[in-house]
Structure 1
Amino acid sequence: MLMQRWKWIITGGVQGVGFRPFVYKAALHAKVTGQVLNTPEGVLIEVQGAPDRLEAFEDTFSATIPPLARIVTWDREVITPLPGEDAFQILKSTGGHGHQVLISPDVATCDDCIADMRDPANRRYRYAFTNCTNCGPRYTITRSIPYDRAYTSMSCFPLCSDCLEEYENPLDRRFHAQPNACPECGPKLWLTDRPGRTLCENDEAVRRTAALLLEGRLVAMKGLGGFHLVCDARNQDAVQELRTRKNRKDKPLAIMVADLDAALAFCVLSEAEQKLLTGRQRPIVLARARKDSGLAPGLSPDTAFLGVMLPYTPLHHVLFDELGRSENLPAAMVMTSGNLSSDPICLGNREALRRLSGIADNFLLHDRDILIRCDDSVLRVVDEKPQFIRRARGYTPTPIDLAKDGPTVLGVGPLLKNTLCLTKGRQAFVSQHIGDLDHLEAYGFFREIRAHLQDILQVEPQAVVHDLHPDFLSTGFARESGLPCLPLQHHFAHIHAVLAENRHIGAAIGLALDGVGLGDDGTMWGGEALLVDTAKLEHRRLARFSRVMLPGGDVATREPWRLARAHLHALGIRAPGEKPWPWLQEYAAADKVVAQVLERRINSPLSSSCGRLFDAVSAMLGLCERISYEGQAAIRLEAIQDKEEKGVYSCPVIEYDGIVKLDTLELFAQVHAEWRDGEHPATISRRFHLGLIDGLCRLYLHLAERCSCTTVALSGGVMQNLTLATELPRALAAQGATVLTHRELPPNDACISLGQAAYGQLVLQP
């Protein structure tokens, strides 16, 4: 009989996802011999047998690839058969510098493991660290590649005989499940009081935690990528106490509920939202909250949308099973990041006891180390497609595929909503959400992730790309890195990011609708039309919004009334008429100072920011005079819209001295005039939103003809506004535009690092 031997090298997310046992079973089914092992180049497979048996193996292989696997390349060659081979084997992994494999993101607990935990006869009954090759922690417990137990935080938990038997059996679903454990050999739980004294352990700790939560206590709970602060979402006093202690006055708080039925009791969920909520990533999903659901008021005071998620670790499932025994109504727990406002999420037990003792009454701890901090991901559904608000757990470190291969480049991101990005070949690895780098703790996290990404990818960047702003810590890091530095303006980076996500090569008109970023003319940009050509590497500012001053600089971003005052000043309105401006009751004295600042142009940089326009309108309508979290004023403005209103304010495109401008000052003038005349704020808000969309379409038509370009790329934090995210792409498409939007990253500043790295690759292309 003619024997052949085929060899594959498969790269991508193929370690820690049950890939080798899957290959082993396919080989047994096809009755072929050979071997499979993890190598630095990828998963190496060799199979030997008659040609029809090899084809049967390949058919089985292709049709039943594990759901968690992500194949990037699949190379096959015919090699010399080995005489005397009589079995198929799984061989030990080999190490070495450089590799072509990916670490899987953390994966929510699978149904089989949940069944194990709910079976009283199973040795993992109610065990809070149950997992298998189809689920469980990956990225957050991994030190380095290859993904073997010795390189994870499970290395200090020797397997008992039962777990070892599972681990070594290729036909068991826990074969080489690196976090495999049971109550006999695995991690333990314990509950402490605020000083850290142990109160109880393991299952009793879960029972006591559930009781404490239902009594209104605040608990810091160690999770998958860090700590959560937890309280009963039905208990108004507990929710308010959490806000007070965490210094989180108004920012929305996400909840966790036991299952989809419970989620439907609290939120109106479309089919797309349900699919997102129940997927293996288990993100927080922003969904419309039901009225009179029994939740405490004030979980999301500025919007009708509520962040909801389902359990994604065994500990969550055990806790909610216990909560379900305690009351008839579906349980709902606030689950917010375990940190003080703007600090990184807590990672270790001692760190949590030190940093969270002023917030939590009790601590539910365990002894499996978290090696990598990773917050919950946050998404919403826009036109039946997911839009990221924050990309982290469940999605990182999954790479973004680029249009072309290129050298390794590091993008260090902006100041706020920072992420890092490293490219490797034609893939871009964007880190999880790091946070705001105006806090030294976040900068320490930034440095941790930079080192970790470079280590697990085993690459050396050839250049680093940074923002134009000289005072950003990320800019300072780049300049001190010893690598060649490439500066890139903030909003051009936004557009490069959305083009990279869509693998677009060539020219595009970028509409960067954002907060503020330093422009190359020294002013603060944020409402820009930009030409970006990735083929010619051409950058050009085509148009901008009307410019107004930011009285007090950064203070104006925290006090939107200053922005309304600046717009009025730009319109020549120096004093209110018969109707007092909304902020005068609280800020009358400060208003007089701001008036002088504007007249003298003291510490009042010019800005064309779209985000600051929204803030100004919100303050003009008396909705938000001072923010307690980023985007609050715009969120309130969007939330009050009368969706039945059809009126549209005028937002003309004007040109003088070669400068094209979208006259957003005229748009604000109509807001002010109708506010002065007593029009309802809900009507004004809707007319404003529709007017801006209409103006942007007019701007596109003006520029498309001039540039002979019909591709439009949309990016920037304002694209998180649901009205713009939904209606602007439709309106542009109706004008003949090909519209590119973000689908793999948030449109906010978290995408900046990708844009920087993608740009750097283009610059370094030979």
Structure 2
Amino acid sequence: MTHATKAAASETSRRVWHVEVTGTVQGVGFRPFVHRLATGLGLDGWVRNVDGHVMVAAAGSPAALEAFVAGVRRDAPPLAVVRTVRVGETAGEAPPPGTGFTVLGSAAPSHPGAVREIPPDAATCAACLQELFDPRERRYRYPFINCTDCGPRATVITDLPYDRERTTMRAFPLCPQCADEYRDPGDRRFHAEPLACPACGPRLSWQDSPTCGADCLGEQALRQAVAAIGMGRIVAVKGLGGYQLICDATNAAAVGELRRRKSRPAKPFAVMVRGLAAAECLARISRTERAALTSSARPVVLLVARPPASEPGPAAEVRPGDHPAQVAHAVDRVAPSVHPGTDRIGLFLPTTGLHHLLLRDLDRPLVVTSGNLAEEPLAIGDAEALDQLAGIADGFLAHDRVIHARHDDSVVHIADHQMLTIRRARGYAPAPLSLPRHTPVPLVASGAQLKHTFTLAAADRAVVAPHGGDLEDARTLDAFEASYTDLVRLTGIDPHTVVHDLHPGYLSTQWAAAHWPAHRRIAVQHHHAHVAACAAEHGVRGPFTGVAYDGLGLGDDGTLWGGEILVADLTGYRRVGRFATAALPGGSAAVRHPSRMALGYLHGGEVLGSPAPAPELTEPFTARLEQREAAAVRAMIARGVNCPRASSAGRLFDAVASLLGLGDEVSYEGQAAIALEAAAGDLKAKALTWRLVRRGGLWVYDPLPTLTALLEELAAKTAVPRLAAAFHTTLADVTAALVERAVAAGAPRTVCLSGGCLQNRRLLTGIGQALRAQGLRVLVGSAIPVNDGGISYGQAAVAAARLGKE
């Protein structure tokens, strides 16, 4: 065959393929990856961002094109999520042979209305970390170091397609060296949109007082912050998704002062440590927990704390990035006031170059907590932080890169052999989740009141907004509305319908009513949303049995629920079991005062045929209460004045904690239950007495025999930890019995567990084991919180199924 004949044959076999890739494929180094893959296979063509997708035109032999598509599906960058790869031959003009492969500028949307995926922020990668501490590198000790595999994403993106001019980095023109890296296909910073260096990027600034300007910049600013924290001061640090308050975790006085100023008397603080070795000195860490700690999301992981006098285990060897001095003294020096009342400590590893520098220079664990006053939104603007945190921080370590979106730290823990999300925010949100049933119209689910999130949904995708705190006042409502407006623009989801809770007092419900007409509003019962969130995450499309244990949620009968067994699917439910009701003396005041809940059960428990505990059993408890208040509470219960009733598992936990002397008043939600779980520890204990009765067509758990048995054991001097353990065993057995009776009557054998009480590891594990022993399939939410942070996703799943059915 002549050379001309070979060339003609080659040209005849040459194909041009049009490839469209959807998923999280912008802001994750996908175009550079495609460029390297195509170039390595000798393909000609181009790649570009189009709206929220990536489009490719590739020309070459069929074998090379097939290898290219296989590589796109199989070898995507670590932060990418490839959902679909659509391939078609194009009849358009083919790239001439030998012209190579290029990265083109972004184009206009190809599919108006399609869901656009925003990548979450990612922690500093190993390559950038090595550069950060290498004096030979030009980004040595540069706090804003990043590349295509790490750095800010969701907190800097202002619009899509994802290019530098549509991020907050547009304020920082690239210097010649950075521009060369940005344009070089062989560089790992090729098209890294947050790219920066000391010559052209953001700079740190230090301010001693909110009333004066920046005292110094750059490295000197960092030194001032390090010195302040080292002297026991509290510093407000501008992080990825908002300001953080940082102090020395080993300095009890500093931790105590932070608690006083932040009005946070008891809720545990998260602690940032330099590396795994330091973390393993402070806590016992399983393989699954280690994987969560070191993931690119860098969540706070709740771990079993080591006793102060214990020695690090054999797994606590020094690793790269750890400092031997810190490893040596970390165990004994973390102040007990960091996590009072619980044996769990929340640890996380550095998320940014700035955090790495602070930990390297300070050489000790640091308390890192949200930069806000109690119950207020996280501060993200510089002026906002100076105003809100003036009474807390002794100094401000800021920088001149704008934070576009508010993202708090995510929180996870390992329970029943799986990772469960407690707070979904930085590192996870707003990555989309699937819906089992497509929604025929775009919608927004407005969520609950506490641990608020909202969800935007279109087709089979649900975008859950990052944790927004408790939605209880005008400031948190303003933050919600700003986040909603921003996420609508970024995702391209323009809701036609709103989904909301039944409770008319929730600000999220009021927001829905204020912005949508009645025919475009869908109400979803609180506990149905809880169990639907679990079912939807696991792709359950048919009927299931739901167990929903939480504090309070409005039932469809107008009463307060919280200990519920449901038979459900995504469109509806029926109640088949519940906990007995009890009075909540003073309504919300009973939530803040577990001693009131104890009185509510002892004197206002639902009458189901069991006698209340004898006075001689309750006398030690009532004797320690303030007598005038206790008498007033009893009178309220007797007269039924301001005493709503609730069938709440969470409130029963409160009552038991108070009866055992573990807390009569709380300063944060769940504090009494956490104390009860901590008291139980790893003790094994048999169940206390319990009883189920049939009422109104439902199986009802009567807790009065349990409380009587508890007080009898207490009078017999049984240790409080053993009684706390026995109570957990009791609820696991009760739940198994309620579900067993439901299944015997025809309920599905797939059981979905949800509700804030299921954050309790001991309870969740006990219930899971008891149900699996019956041969049941047991599911619990993992990516979606079991607490009220998952309500909006459950609402969206229910609304999608109902609308689809209609």
Flag whether TM exceeds 0.5 (same fold). Answer: yes
Give 1:327's aligned residue.
none
**Amino acid corresponding to residue 426 of structure 2 in structure 1:** R
- Provide the C-alpha distance between the structure 1 equivalents of 2:95 and 2:688, rounded to a whole number of angstroms: 81
- Flag the 1:573–1:730 CA change in 2: closer, same or farther, 3 A: closer
- Provide the C-alpha distance between the structure 1 equivalents of 2:193 and 2:696, rounded to a whole number of angstroms: 65
> Which residue among 156, 174, 185 is the counterpart of 1:141?
156
- Flag the 1:344–1:564 CA change in 2: closer, same or farther, 3 A: same
> Which residue among 246, 249, 268 is the counterpart of 1:230?
246
TM-score, structure 2 length as denominator?
0.92
- Flag the 1:358–1:584 CA change in 2: closer, same or farther, 3 A: farther
**Amino acid corresponding to residue 444 of structure 1 in structure 2:** D
> Which residue among 19, 28, 31 is the counterpart of 2:39?
28
- Provide the C-alpha distance between the structure 1 equivalents of 2:617 and 2:351, rounded to a whole number of angstroms: 57
Offset of 1:747 from its aligned partner?
A: 0.4
Give 1:418's aligned residue.
452
2:419 aligned counterpart, secondary structure:
strand
> Which residue among 494, 501, 513 is the counterpart of 2:537?
501
Q: How many residues are matched?
A: 758
Is 1:449 matched with 2:483? Answer: yes
- Provide the C-alpha distance between the structure 2 equivalents of 1:698 and 1:731, rounded to a whole number of angstroms: 9
> Which residue among 600, 621, 624 is the counterpart of 2:639?
600
CA deviation digits over 1:261-317, x for unaligned, max 9?
Answer: 111121111111111101110000111112222211211111111001111101111
- Provide the C-alpha distance between the structure 2 equivalents of 1:76 and 1:101, rounded to a whole number of angstroms: 20
- Provide the C-alpha distance between the structure 1 equivalents of 2:691 and 2:171, rounded to a whole number of angstroms: 66
CA deviation digits over 1:701-740, x for unaligned, max 9?
Answer: 1000112421111000000011012221121011111111
Give 1:370's aligned residue.
403
Give 1:192's aligned residue.
207
Contact 2:18 2:88 in 1 (8 A): yes
1:274 aligned counterpart, secondary structure:
helix
Give 1:536-575 correspondences, 5 Å limit.
Answer: 537-569=571-603, 570=605, 573=612
> Which residue among 428, 449, 454 is the counterpart of 1:395?
428
TM-score, structure 1 length as denominator?
0.97
**Amino acid corresponding to residue 420 of structure 1 in structure 2:** F
- Flag the 1:41–1:455 CA change in 2: closer, same or farther, 3 A: closer
Offset of 1:341 from its aligned partner?
A: 0.7
Contact 2:444 2:454 in 1 (8 A): yes
1:696 aligned counterpart, secondary structure:
helix
Offset of 1:100 from its aligned partner?
A: 4.5
**Amino acid corresponding to residue 647 of structure 1 in structure 2:** K
Offset of 1:573 from its aligned partner?
A: 4.8
**Amino acid corresponding to residue 439 of structure 1 in structure 2:** D
**Amino acid corresponding to residue 414 of structure 1 in structure 2:** A
> Which residue among 360, 369, 373 is the counterpart of 1:340?
373
**Amino acid corresponding to residue 619 of structure 2 in structure 1:** P
- Name stretches of at least 5 consecutive residues in structure 2 with no aligned partner: 1-9, 309-330
Contact 2:44 2:95 in 1 (8 A): no
Give 2:80's aligned residue.
69
- Provide the C-alpha distance between the structure 2 equivalents of 1:23 and 1:517, rounded to a whole number of angstroms: 49
Offset of 1:583 from its aligned partner?
A: 5.3
- Provide the C-alpha distance between the structure 2 equivalents of 1:120 and 1:546, rounded to a whole number of angstroms: 66
Give 1:217-366 correspondences, 5 Å limit.
Answer: 217-292=233-308, 293=331, 294-324=333-363, 331-366=364-399
CA deviation digits over 1:365-385, x for unaligned, max 9?
Answer: 101000101000001111332
Give 1:103-142 correspondences, 5 Å limit.
Answer: 103-142=118-157
CA RMSD after TM alignment: 1.6
> Which residue among 684, 687, 692 is the counterpart of 1:648?
687
**Amino acid corresponding to residue 511 of structure 2 in structure 1:** F
1:402 aligned counterpart, secondary structure:
strand
Offset of 1:646 from its aligned partner?
A: 3.1
Give 1:82's aligned residue.
94
Give 1:372-521 correspondences, 5 Å limit.
Answer: 372-406=405-439, 407-483=441-517, 484-521=520-557
Give 2:312's aligned residue.
none
- Provide the C-alpha distance between the structure 1 equivalents of 2:167 and 2:334, rounded to a whole number of angstroms: 39
Offset of 1:762 from its aligned partner?
A: 1.2
Give 1:328's aligned residue.
none
**Amino acid corresponding to residue 40 of structure 1 in structure 2:** D
Contact 2:544 2:747 in 1 (8 A): no
1:531 aligned counterpart, secondary structure:
strand
- Provide the C-alpha distance between the structure 1 equivalents of 2:68 and 2:747, rounded to a whole number of angstroms: 52
1:577 aligned counterpart, secondary structure:
helix
Give 2:558's aligned residue.
522
- Flag the 1:707–1:70 CA change in 2: closer, same or farther, 3 A: same
Offset of 1:572 from its aligned partner?
A: 5.7
1:320 aligned counterpart, secondary structure:
helix
- Provide the C-alpha distance between the structure 1 equivalents of 2:684 and 2:113, rounded to a whole number of angstroms: 59
Contact 2:22 2:82 in 1 (8 A): yes
2:336 aligned counterpart, secondary structure:
coil
- Flag the 1:506–1:61 CA change in 2: closer, same or farther, 3 A: closer
1:209 aligned counterpart, secondary structure:
helix
- Provide the C-alpha distance between the structure 2 equivalents of 1:213 and 1:582, rounded to a whole number of angstroms: 44
> Which residue among 28, 46, 59 is the counterpart of 1:17?
28
- Provide the C-alpha distance between the structure 2 equivalents of 1:481 and 1:374, rounded to a whole number of angstroms: 25
Worse-matched range after superposition: 667-676 or 160-169: 667-676
1:11 aligned counterpart, secondary structure:
strand
Give 2:328's aligned residue.
none
Contact 1:42 1:100 in 2 (8 A): no
- Provide the C-alpha distance between the structure 2 equivalents of 1:205 and 1:698, rounded to a whole number of angstroms: 61
CA deviation digits over 1:612-664, x for unaligned, max 9?
Answer: 00000001111110001110111111111164433212323211342321222
Give 1:674-713 correspondences, 5 Å limit.
Answer: 674-713=713-752
- Flag the 1:285–1:4 CA change in 2: closer, same or farther, 3 A: same
Offset of 1:101 from its aligned partner?
A: 3.7
- Flag the 1:444–1:83 CA change in 2: closer, same or farther, 3 A: closer
Is 1:161 matched with 2:176? Answer: yes
Q: Give percent identity, aligned residues only.
A: 41
Contact 2:567 2:748 in 1 (8 A): no
Offset of 1:582 from its aligned partner?
A: 3.2
**Amino acid corresponding to residue 447 of structure 2 in structure 1:** G
CA deviation digits over 1:544-585, x for unaligned, max 9?
Answer: 101111111110010000111111113665984277333543
- Provide the C-alpha distance between the structure 2 equivalents of 1:513 and 1:349, rounded to a whole number of angstroms: 40
Contact 1:652 1:698 in 2 (8 A): no
Worse-matched range after superposition: 546-555 or 657-666: 657-666
Offset of 1:449 from its aligned partner?
A: 1.4
- Provide the C-alpha distance between the structure 2 equivalents of 1:578 and 1:17, rounded to a whole number of angstroms: 63
Worse-matched range after superposition: 491-500 or 36-45: 36-45
Give 2:6's aligned residue.
none
**Amino acid corresponding to residue 457 of structure 1 in structure 2:** T
1:728 aligned counterpart, secondary structure:
helix
CA deviation digits over 1:388-433, x for unaligned, max 9?
Answer: 1111000001111122322322110111111000112111111111
**Amino acid corresponding to residue 533 of structure 1 in structure 2:** D
> Which residue among 207, 222, 233 is the counterpart of 2:223?
207
Contact 1:222 1:365 in 2 (8 A): yes
Give 2:315's aligned residue.
none
- Flag the 1:582–1:664 CA change in 2: closer, same or farther, 3 A: closer
1:408 aligned counterpart, secondary structure:
strand
**Amino acid corresponding to residue 477 of structure 1 in structure 2:** W
- Provide the C-alpha distance between the structure 1 equivalents of 2:261 and 2:686, rounded to a whole number of angstroms: 44
> Which residue among 42, 51, 70 is the counterpart of 1:40?
51
CA deviation digits over 1:326-376, x for unaligned, max 9?
Answer: xxxxx1010010011111111011111111010111110101000101000
CA deviation digits over 1:433-484, x for unaligned, max 9?
Answer: 1111112211111111111121111122121111111111111110111251
Contact 2:28 2:119 in 1 (8 A): yes
Offset of 1:73 from its aligned partner?
A: 1.2
